[in-house]
Structure 1
Amino acid sequence: MSINFDLNDLQAFRAVVEKGSFGKAAEAIHISQPALSRRIEKLEDALGVKLFERTTRKVSLTMVGRAFAPRAQRLLDDLDDALLGISDVASTRMGNVTIACVPSAAYYFMPRVVARYHQLYPKIRVRVLDASAHDVHNAVVSGEADLGLSFMGNLDSALEFELLVQEAYVLACRRDHPLAHRDSVTWTEFFQQDYIAVDKTSGNRFLLDQALIHITPARPSICETRHVVTMLGLVEAGLGVTAVPTMAMPTAGHPILISVPLTEPQVIRSVGLIKRRGRTLTPAALELERLIFEMKTA
């Protein structure tokens, strides 16, 4: 039997299966929708079967399509895995991988991971969706993102969480602030300062409110923002101090900012990778996952 289809046709098939629509699939693999339709038609003609039921409202797999989908996925994954394992070939591999990430991890941690990934696989495009914890979860559930990087919360039953690191909240201040050279600062002392807080829409705010329920702030915050990285910018500008998770802080040697441990109590958050339960990651996504765990303490 001659094979009258190619890898592009299989990749188009996989994209439609994952995205659930021809339009979204075409966008994901960067071709026009008519071009994608031609690839699917070519694959169906070559196999002599119908893989999709198409109406104006939805696309669904036929019975034959449902049986073929996992086999096509394994074939593509095995090929990608083999090619990524050959160093001379890996640098020429093309593709996409998407990670949804809370801003507190996206600002200082993820750039180092993406830089290393780009060194290894310069033609694989990494897409970082910086979003709230809630939106990170939704992006992984919907399949918009291969992976999510977020802190533990009320996870959807369709998701699984793998712990990356447990990190403490620290005081972030300018190097010329009176608290900058303290060994530690209590939360009671923190709330006596001019401080900047995240607003109630933030997952960090919910976590802190739960942990500090027995502490009554001496004064309200002077400013509230939605994202941790915005708070750091306000601290740099001299507006006050703030409390952020360790991962959100720049590496040692920052010319303006410094962190001081916050105590009584020490507030910890669990940060990890979120994946859709039962879904096999592509080799490109698996390699990104490996680098994230490798570089978590780098």
Structure 2
Amino acid sequence: MAINFDLNDLQAFRAVVEQGSFRKAADTVRISQPALSRRIEKLEDALGVKLFERTTRRVSLTQAGRAFSPSVERLLDDLDVALLGISDVASTRSGYVTVACVPSAAYYFMPRVVAQYHQRFPRIKVKVLDSSAHDVLSAVVNGEADFGLSFMGTLEAEVEFEPLVQERYVVACRRDHALASRASVSWSELYQQDYISLDKTSGNRFLLDQALSGIVPARQSICETRHVTTMIGLVEAGLGIAAVPLMAMPGSDHPILTHVPLTDPQVMRSVGLLKRRGRTLTPAALELERLIVEMKFSQPPEPASA
């Protein structure tokens, strides 16, 4: 059989399979919907079979389409892997990858990851959906993100969690604060200070409430925020101190902020990757995932006295 279709036609086919919509698929491959329809028609004419059943409400694969889809997926993935493995070609590869990420990891950790990824693949666009743990989970479930970076919490049945690192909660404070020189601080001591807390919509707040159910704060917090990154900004402004996960802290060279380990009890959270079961990551997404795994311990070091 003569090959009367090309790579663009196969990419259009995969986009429709992944998006379940001709309109969304056209946006994905950045062409008009009529142009995408023509590519699918060209592919169907070349193969002599109908690949999609279209109604006003949905698009689904025909039996022939279901049989054809795995071969297309393997072919395009193998090609992308081969091209990404050639340094001279990798720098010219275009595309995009979307990762959903909790703000505590997005603020200081992800910029380092994205910077290294951009150096290797300058034409692949990285989209970071920085949102709450609940929204990160939803983005993975709904296919809005290729994968997520979050901490262990309530999971959907169709999502798997791959732990990367266990990190502790620390006191975020200014270098000129009375606690900054301490080797450690207990939770009870933290609650005796002017401190900033998280509101009840925060995944971190839920985790802390469970871990600290036996500790009654001596004082109310002076302020509540929804995100850890906002807390750190308030700490830097001198409003008080805050309990935050270590990953949320800047490096040891920060001129204003430092951190002290929290004890009695030591509270940990498990940070890792969220992926939808049965979904194969694109080569571009796989490369970003590998980089995150490589840099998973690239966190601010504990103080030497800890």
Instruction: Give the aligned partner of residue 233 of structure 1.
Output: 233
Give 1:70 deviation, angstroms: 1.2
Instruction: Give the aligned partner of residue 134 of structure 2.
Output: 134
Give 1:21 deviation, angstroms: 1.1
Give 1:32 deviation, angstroms: 2.1
- SS of residue in 1 equivalent to 2:134: helix
Indicate the RMSD between aligned Cα atoms, in angstroms. 1.0
Give 1:94 deviation, angstroms: 1.1
The amino acid that maps onto 2:231 is M
Give 1:28 deviation, angstroms: 2.1
Q: Distance in 2 between matches of 1:202 and 1:30?
A: 36
Instruction: Give the aligned partner of residue 184 of structure 2.
Output: 184
Give 1:35 deviation, angstroms: 2.1
Q: Distance in 2 between matches of 1:220 and 1:41?
A: 65
- SS of residue in 1 equivalent to 2:260: strand
Aligned residue runs from structure 1 range 1-298, under 5 A? 1-298=1-298
Q: Distance in 1 between matches of 2:262 and 2:86?
A: 47
Q: Distance in 2 between matches of 1:57 and 1:139?
A: 22
Q: Distance in 1 between matches of 2:222 and 2:261?
A: 21
The amino acid that maps onto 1:131 is S
Q: Distance in 2 between matches of 1:23 and 1:190?
A: 53
The amino acid that maps onto 2:135 is D
Q: Distance in 2 between matches of 1:259 and 1:205?
A: 19
Instruction: Give per-residue Cα distances to partners, 1:97-154, cap 9 Å, x unaligned.
Output: 1111011000100110111011011111111111111111111111111111000112
- SS of residue in 2 equivalent to 1:39: helix
The amino acid that maps onto 2:3 is I
Give 1:275 deviation, angstroms: 0.9
Give 1:29 deviation, angstroms: 2.3
The amino acid that maps onto 1:19 is Q
Structure 1 unaligned regions, length at least 5? none
Give 1:42 deviation, angstroms: 1.7
Give 1:156 deviation, angstroms: 0.8
Q: Distance in 2 between matches of 1:266 and 1:36?
A: 55
Instruction: Give per-residue Cα distances to partners, 1:146-177, cap 9 Å, x unaligned.
Output: 11100011211111111111000000011111
- SS of residue in 2 equivalent to 1:5: coil
Q: Distance in 2 between matches of 1:131 and 1:7?
A: 36
- TM-score normalised to structure 1 length: 0.98
Q: Distance in 1 between matches of 2:83 and 2:291?
A: 18
- SS of residue in 2 equivalent to 1:126: strand
- SS of residue in 1 equivalent to 2:275: strand
Q: Distance in 1 between matches of 2:28 and 2:178?
A: 51
Q: Distance in 2 between matches of 1:142 and 1:40?
A: 25
